[in-house]
Amino acid sequence: MDLLAATTDQLRDAAVAHFKVAKGAGVAAAIHRSATRDGAFDPQALGLGEAACAGWRALAQLQLPRTVDEVVEPVAGGEVRKRLLRLHDGLTVESVHLPMGRGRSSLCVSTQAGCARACTFCETGRMGLRRNLTAGEIVGQVTVQHRVQRPDTIVFQGMGEPLDNLEHLLQAMAVLTDRAGLGYAHDRLTVCTVGHVPGIAALRQLGQKRLNLSLSLNAADDRQRAAIMPNSVRYALAEIQQALRDFRQRANLALGIHWCLLPGINDTPADADRIAAFCAPLGRLLLHVIPYNPGSAPITRAPDEHEVVRFVGWLRDRGVPVRRRITKGRTVMAGCGQLGAAGTQLGAAATSSRCP
Ligand code: SF4
């Protein structure tokens, strides 16, 4: 049993079956807490007898991803830290810890090694999908960071499309929100998707009103989207729009809409018109304009400051609540959609990026 993939209740149930006793909730909670918060598994430290310790070691194991490299970029209010983590089979994925102001921070975690979506502006999209991460491998990225500093929020926005790995994503969320362990409230979690309609419906069915959701939009008509995000056209924008409307379970939920600004591709007044039309029925939202970070095979250049400000202005003129995303981590290849390999060699395993 993977300790990082189990909630306290699941651990207790497994222990009850394994030890053939009807109790053990306290020990299960202590083991869960120690594993998920500290990345430690030491039954002896809990004062258990020799037989019980041996039983726990036979029942469960801790497989914390191993940090093989870190790169840091100083930014206002702290530093962006990109961490490369090696999984048990040698694949490497990335997490990025970002300062968010006022002493708060966010951790961007990966849900897949590689990605099948092939978005043209994203390095991960060039890799193809290696495999889904397990729930334990997703939680493990948080645990590794938690040992240094607890992130205030978790965004599923690193390598991969989270809703293409729904089963493990949901289990990871159950572990992250377990009060005996890391104890994140659902409003501290954000799932970012390119528009996986059944996945959005599955998140809705969780009934967690405070869970945050973001859409990586980047093109607001289907033809343009097919060109930029060729493997995300299974669901038309109208279907995605309806799924987002259905997702809302509280009036004050602010959906996130992400727009990677690609000069010469999606930066015209007509694009702003289409964004406004797409967003109009969605209720409260915040559109994040993310200046493109060119990777190893750029499809265009990075927008200059004037272009970013101008596009933000067009959106404001059309009544779209908008925020310009401050570029962080570009110099250490930790920016959205950016190559991870330049500052940090991953060998034959994997390169990684953050999903815009
Ligand atoms: S932007 Fe996100 S969904 Fe698209 S290829 Fe990159 S990781 Fe995958």
Distance 267 CA to ligand 1 centre (A): 20
Looking at residue 317, its amino acid is: D
Distance 39 CA to ligand 1 centre (A): 29
Across 159-168, average pLDDT: 97
Output the pLDDT for position 351.
Answer: 37
Across 230-234, average pLDDT: 90
108, 192, 336, 355: which one is catalytic?
Answer: 336
Output the pLDDT for position 315.
Answer: 98
Across 75-100, average pLDDT: 93
Output the pLDDT for position 261.
Answer: 97
**For tokens 């007044």, what's the residue?**
269
Angle among Cα 220, 190, 303 to the nearest 5 degrees reads 45
Distance 251 CA to ligand 1 centre (A): 29
Across 221-248, average pLDDT: 95
Per-residue pLDDT band at 345 (split at 50, 70, 90): very low
For residue 112, which atom of ligand 1 is closest to its CA?
A: 7
Residue 122 Cβ inside 6 Å of ligand 1? The answer reads: yes
Output the pLDDT for position 348.
Answer: 31
Residue nearest (by alpha carbon) to ligand 1 atom 4: 119
Distance 133 CA to ligand 1 centre (A): 15
Output the pLDDT for position 64.
Answer: 97
Output the pLDDT for position 23.
Answer: 65
Flag the least confident range among 42-46, 93-97, 149-153, 343-347. 343-347
Per-residue pLDDT band at 352 (split at 50, 70, 90): very low
User: Which 3 state secondary structure label does DSSP give 14?
Assistant: helix
C-alpha span between 350 and 346 (Å, rounded): 6
Distance 117 CA to ligand 1 centre (A): 6
Residue 123 Cβ inside 6 Å of ligand 1? The answer reads: no
- The tokens describing 88, both together, are 């048990």
For residue 354, which atom of ligand 1 is closest to its CA?
A: 7
Residue 151 Cβ inside 6 Å of ligand 1? The answer reads: no
What pLDDT digit, counting tens, does each position of 303-337 carry?
A: 999 999 999 999 999 999 999 987 665 555 555 55
Q: Are 117 and 229 in contact (CB under 8 A)?
A: yes
For residue 125, which atom of ligand 1 is closest to its CA?
A: 5
73, 94, 123, 161: which one is catalytic?
Answer: 94
Across 298-306, average pLDDT: 95
Reported pTM: 0.93
Residue 162 Cβ inside 6 Å of ligand 1? The answer reads: no
Residue 124 Cβ inside 6 Å of ligand 1? The answer reads: yes
Residue nearest (by alpha carbon) to ligand 1 atom 1: 355
Q: Which helix (H) or strand (E) holds 129?
A: strand 128-132
C-alpha span between 125 and 132 (Å, rounded): 14
Distance 126 CA to ligand 1 centre (A): 9
Residue 161 Cβ inside 6 Å of ligand 1? The answer reads: yes
Q: Is 73 a catalytic residue?
A: no
Q: Is 94 a catalytic residue?
A: yes
Helix/strand/coil (H, E, C) string of 249-304?
A: CCCCCCEEEEEEECCCCCCCHHHHHHHHHHHHHHCCEEEEEEECCCCCCCCCCCCC
Q: What percent of the chain has pLDDT over 70?
A: 91
Residue nearest (by alpha carbon) to ligand 1 atom 7: 160
Distance 158 CA to ligand 1 centre (A): 8
Across 294-306, average pLDDT: 92
